[in-house]
């Protein structure tokens, strides 16, 4: 379970972020702070894995606060001011969210955090995808392969097919590289589901998928 703390001086923004956290099973909210002083005390009292940190706050802004910490938790910056974006990336931040923060954009940040920070022994075994306006939980072992069609992805799984609005580049970054392999500009496959590898195609669940010329060398690692 990822232990999160919201550091935000606006009650409405606190509430919105807290509601987003509640929707993601991997996260648990252990505290909400209205300023850096309270956050400092909480971080040194509790185990904190992720800070949702506002930049412009009274007493001390979020970026200065992070600089005071010797071993800061992972940070996702939140702010209403886009001009802070460039400065925030000078710090070891996972992401930068511009208010108002939608759940879709928040979820992308959390998925990025999970990919970067979760240790192998507790790696995710599932991912949530937005399908027809709802978030569907798909176990990684059930995903056979994915195909991109323009800005959409069709996920072929053991339990049916699902279409989600996403680029193949984003999907490739989202799913664990140890489990999923890009074989073509339009196809990404679950390595464990490959049953045959040829010179120009592979087979997954009785489906023959093309191997792109620029991806053939990657298959040598299997």
pLDDT of 9 over the 60 cut? yes
**0.75 cut: is pTM over it?**
no
The pLDDT-based confidence of 214 (bands split at 50, 70, 90) is confident
In a shared domain, residues 177 and 213: yes
Identify the domain containing residue 106 by its residue range. 2-122
Task: Report the candidate in 1, 32, 37 with the shortest Cα–Cα distance to residue 16.
Answer: 32
| 6 shares its domain with 110 | yes
Are residue 131 and residue 204 in the same domain, yes or no? yes
Q: How many CA atoms lie within 13 A of 17 on its CB side?
A: 31
The enclosing domain of 30 has a CATH number of: 3.40.50.2300
- Segment 18-44 shows an average pLDDT of 93
66 and 140 part of one domain: no
Under 8 Å between Cβ of 145 and 190: yes
Given pLDDT bands bounded at 50, 70 and 90, which one contains residue 221? Answer: very low
Q: 222 pLDDT exceeds 80?
A: no
Helix (H, G, I), strand (E, B) or coil at 81: coil
What integer pLDDT is reported at residue 92 of this predicted model?
75
Q: Both 113 and 132 in a single domain?
A: no
pLDDT at 65: 92
pLDDT tens digits along 134-191: 889 999 999 999 999 989 999 999 999 999 999 999 899 889 888 999 999 999 999 9
State how beta strands 201-204 and 207-210 pair.
Answer: antiparallel
Domain match, 118 and 130 both: no
pLDDT band at 78 (very low <50, low <70, confident <90, very high): very high
pLDDT at residue 120 in the model? 46
pLDDT tier at 124, thresholds 50, 70, 90: low
Task: Pick the range with the lowest mean pLDDT from 2-16, 110-124, 187-201.
Answer: 110-124
Claim to verify: residue 148 and residue 98 sit in the same structural domain = no
Please report the pLDDT score of residue 117 as a whole number. Answer: 73
If you average pLDDT over residues 32-50, what whole number do you get? 92
Distance CA 202, CA 182 (A): 12
């Amino acid at each position: 379970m990822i232990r999160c703390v919201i550091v935000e001086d606006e009650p409405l923004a606190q509430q919105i972020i807290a509601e987003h956290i509640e929707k993601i099973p991997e996260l648990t909210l252990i505290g909400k702070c209205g300023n850096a002083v309270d956050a400092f005390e909480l971080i040194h009292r509790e185990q904190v894995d992720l800070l949702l940190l506002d930049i412009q706050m009274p007493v001390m802004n979020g970026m200065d606060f992070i600089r005071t910490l010797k071993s800061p938790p992972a940070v996702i910056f939140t702010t209403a001011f886009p001009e802070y974006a460039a400065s925030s990336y000078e710090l070891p931040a996972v992401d930068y969210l511009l208010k108002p923060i939608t759940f879709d954009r928040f979820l992308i940040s959390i998925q990025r955090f999970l990919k970067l920070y979760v240790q192998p022994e507790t790696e995710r075994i599932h991912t949530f995808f937005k399908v027809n306006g709802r978030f569907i939980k798909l176990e990684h072992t059930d995903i056979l392969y994915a195909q991109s069609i323009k800005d959409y992805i069709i996920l072929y799984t053991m339990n049916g097919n699902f279409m989600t609005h996403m680029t193949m580049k984003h999907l490739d970054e989202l799913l664990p590289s140890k489990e999923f392999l890009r074989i073509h500009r339009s196809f990404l496959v679950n390595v464990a589901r490959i049953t045959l590898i040829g010179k120009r195609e592979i087979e997954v669940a009785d489906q023959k998928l093309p191997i792109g010329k620029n991806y053939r060398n990657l298959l040598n690692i299997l």
